[in-house]
Chain A
Amino acid sequence: MTDSDAPLLEVRDLKKYFPVKGGLLKRTTGYVKAVDGMSFSIDHGETMALIGESGSGKSTVAETIIGLQRATDGTILFDGEDITDPSEEQLQEMRSRIQMVFQDPTSSLNPRRTIGKSLEVPMKSRGVPKEEREERISELLDLVELNDEYLYKYPHELSGGQKQRINIARAISIEPDLLLLDEPTSALDVSVQAKIIGLLEDLQAELNLTYLFITHDLSLVRNFADETAVMYLGELQEKGETTEVFHRPRHPYSRALLSAIPVTTEEEESYKPRREPLQGEIPSPRDVPSGCRFHTRCPYSVEACSEDTPALERVEGGPEVRCHIYDDAYRDEFDETPDISGPTGGQDQDDTEKTRAPSTEDAR
Chain B
Amino acid sequence: MTDLEPIASEPILEVDDLHVGFESFDGFADVVDGVNLSVGKGEVVTVAGETGCGKSVTMKAILRLLNEPPARVSGDITFDGTSLRDLSKKEFDRIKGERMSLIFQDPMSSLNPTFTVGEQLVDTAQFGGYGNAGVLEYARRRYLGRERADARERALEMLEEVQMPDPESVMDSYPTQLSGGMRQRVLIAQALLNEPDLLIADEIGTALDVTIHDQILDLLQDLIDSHDLSVLMITHNLGIARQVSDRVYVMYGGRMVETAPTAQLFEQPKHPYTQGLIASIPRLTGGAMAEGIDGSVPEYLDPPEGCRFHPRCPYAHEACVERRPEMIASSAAAGVECVLHDETHVAPFEAPTLADTRDRMGTLEQRGNGPEEVTDD
Cβ-defined contact, A263 with B367, below 8 A: no
Q: Provide the bound-state CA to CA distance between A193 and B376, in Å.
A: 23
Cβ-defined contact, B281 with A219, below 8 A: yes
With a CB–CB cut-off of 8 A, which chain B residues contact A333? none
Cβ-defined contact, A261 with B237, below 8 A: no
Cβ-defined contact, B237 with A222, below 8 A: no
**Contact indicator per residue, chain B 335-367, by CB within 8 Å of chain A (1) or not (0):** 000000000000000000000000000001111
Cβ-defined contact, B292 with A192, below 8 A: yes
Cβ-defined contact, B181 with A281, below 8 A: yes
Considering the complex, give the chain B residue whose CB is closest to the CB of A46: B367
Considering the complex, give the chain A residue whose CB is closest to the CB of B51: A189
Residues of chain A at interface, number, CB under 8 A = 55
Cβ-defined contact, B210 with A222, below 8 A: no
B contact residues, range: 35 or more
**Stretch from B72-80, B115-123, B136-144, B283-291 that touches the partner:** B283-291
Question: Is there a chain A Cβ closer than 8 Å to B370's Cβ?
Answer: yes
With a CB–CB cut-off of 8 A, which chain B residues contact A110? none
For window 5-47 of chain A, which residues contact chain B by CB distance below 8 Å? 47
Q: Separation in Å of the B314 CB from the closest CB of chain A?
A: 13
Cβ-defined contact, A224 with B367, below 8 A: yes
Cβ-defined contact, B282 with A257, below 8 A: no
* B-to-A contact residues, CB < 8 Å: 50-51, 165, 179-182, 209-215, 217-218, 236-240, 242-243, 266, 276-278, 280-286, 289-294, 296, 364-367, 369-370, 372-377
**Stretch from A75-83, A118-126, A346-354 that touches the partner:** A346-354
Q: Provide the bound-state CA to CA distance between A209 and B356, in Å.
A: 33
14 intermolecular pairs with C-beta atoms under 8 Å apart: A53-B212, A190-B280, A191-B280, A192-B296, A197-B364, A217-B282, A219-B281, A226-B367, A242-B369, A261-B284, A262-B239, A265-B266, A277-B214, A351-B375
Cβ-defined contact, A194 with B210, below 8 A: no
With a CB–CB cut-off of 8 A, which chain B residues contact A350? 374-375
Cβ-defined contact, B212 with A246, below 8 A: no
For window 259-281 of chain A, which residues contact chain B by CB distance below 8 Å? 259-265, 267-268, 271-272, 277-278, 280-281
Q: Separation in Å of the A56 CB from the closest CB of chain B?
A: 9
With a CB–CB cut-off of 8 A, which chain B residues contact A268? 283-285
Task: Take A191-B293, A350-B375 as given contacts and tell me if A241 and B210 are in contact as well, using a CB distance cutoff of 8 Å.
Answer: no
Cβ-defined contact, A191 with B292, below 8 A: yes
Q: Provide the bound-state CA to CA distance between A243 and B240, in Å.
A: 24
Considering the complex, give the chain B residue whose CB is closest to the CB of A221: B282
With a CB–CB cut-off of 8 A, which chain A residues contact B292? 190-195, 198
Q: Provide the bound-state CA to CA distance between A224 and B211, in Å.
A: 22
Q: Provide the bound-state CA to CA distance between A205 and B266, in Å.
A: 33
With a CB–CB cut-off of 8 A, which chain B residues contact A260? 210-211, 213-214
Q: Provide the bound-state CA to CA distance between A164 and B211, in Å.
A: 27
Q: Separation in Å of the A198 CB from the closest CB of chain B?
A: 5
Cβ-defined contact, A241 with B282, below 8 A: no
**Which are the 4 A-B pairs with shortest beta-carbon distances?**
A262-B239, A194-B292, A260-B214, A195-B292
Q: Provide the bound-state CA to CA distance between A207 and B179, in Å.
A: 42
Question: Is there a chain B Cβ closer than 8 Å to A178's Cβ?
Answer: no
Cβ-defined contact, B211 with A53, below 8 A: yes
Cβ-defined contact, B282 with A223, below 8 A: yes
Cβ-defined contact, A243 with B372, below 8 A: yes
With a CB–CB cut-off of 8 A, which chain A residues contact B376? 243, 347
With a CB–CB cut-off of 8 A, which chain A residues contact B209? 53-54, 216, 282
Q: Separation in Å of the A105 CB from the closest CB of chain B?
A: 13
Q: Separation in Å of the B8 CB from the closest CB of chain A?
A: 23
With a CB–CB cut-off of 8 A, which chain A residues contact B211? 53, 256-257, 260, 277-278
Task: Take A193-B280, A262-B240 as given contacts and tell me if A277 and B218 are in contact as well, using a CB distance cutoff of 8 Å.
Answer: yes
For window 311-364 of chain A, which residues contact chain B by CB distance below 8 Å? 347-348, 350-351
Q: Provide the bound-state CA to CA distance between A277 and B374, in Å.
A: 31
With a CB–CB cut-off of 8 A, which chain B residues contact A224? 282, 367
User: Which listed residue (A189, A222, A348) contacts B286, Cβ 8 A?
Assistant: A222
With a CB–CB cut-off of 8 A, which chain A residues contact B294? 195
Q: Separation in Å of the A351 CB from the closest CB of chain B?
A: 6
Considering the complex, give the chain A residue whose CB is closest to the CB of B179: A281
Q: Separation in Å of the B296 CB from the closest CB of chain A?
A: 5
Q: Provide the bound-state CA to CA distance between A192 and B238, in Å.
A: 15
Question: Is there a chain B Cβ closer than 8 Å to A225's Cβ?
Answer: yes
Question: Is there a chain B Cβ closer than 8 Å to A201's Cβ?
Answer: yes
